[in-house]
Structure 1
Amino acid sequence: MRVLYFAWLRQRTGAGEEEVSPPAEVADVGGLMRWLAARSPGHAAAFADPAQVRAAVNQEFCGPEHPVAPGDEVAFFPPVTGG
């Protein structure tokens, strides 16, 4: 699974992207966020407030209940504001 980080998530994790192999019990975006948060202090900081993180799976915006699978591309980014 390819995970991409944008904006302050990239700064906190220290990576723009990484290849991960979460355990089988990680079945959705919310579970992936919890699993990633346990990987390092930087990841924990990035996902400390899940309400401030948006996600896309295979370039489609989605919520925390959206399923994830091996081979997916999952992107995490802050909420987007217009002006």
Structure 2
Amino acid sequence: MNIQLRFFAGVREAVGTSGETVALPEGVATVGAVRDFLIARGGAWAEALAHERALRMAFNHVMCEADTPLAEGGEVAFFPPVTGG
């Protein structure tokens, strides 16, 4: 499955990109699983997206929980709880 990833504020700064298109491996079917997939990259990814960090997630522009299912071509966004202008 291919999805769009978007990163905002401190998450974007930490991982060095505002977004990418990614082909997910078999079994990655929820927003939380995408987070785990990205954490497994290690380094800045693991630090920025660590489960201990307060982090908001959205799927297709709607705030969601980790168990939200994905759909082909969807967009997953990660950002801190409060973002500034």
- Per the TM superposition, whether the score is higher than 0.5 is yes
TM-score, L = length of structure 1: 0.87
Contact 1:21–1:70 (8 Å) recurs in 2: no
2:10 is the counterpart of 1:8: yes
Q: What are the residue-to-residue correspondences of 1:28-67 with 2, within 5 Å?
A: 28-49=30-51, 51-67=53-69
Using the alignment, how far apart are the partners of 1:12 and 1:64 within structure 2?
A: 21
Q: Which runs of 5+ in 2 are unaligned?
A: none
CA distance in 1, matches of 2:12, 2:75: 16
Structure 1 runs of 4+ off > 3 angstroms?
Answer: none
Q: Aligned-residue CA RMSD in angstroms?
A: 1.6
Q: Specify the alignment match of 1:74 in structure 2.
A: 76
Would you say how many aligned residue pairs link Structure 1 and Structure 2?
Answer: 81
Q: Between the two proteins, what is the percent identity of the paired residues?
A: 41
Gapped runs of 5+ residues in structure 1?
none
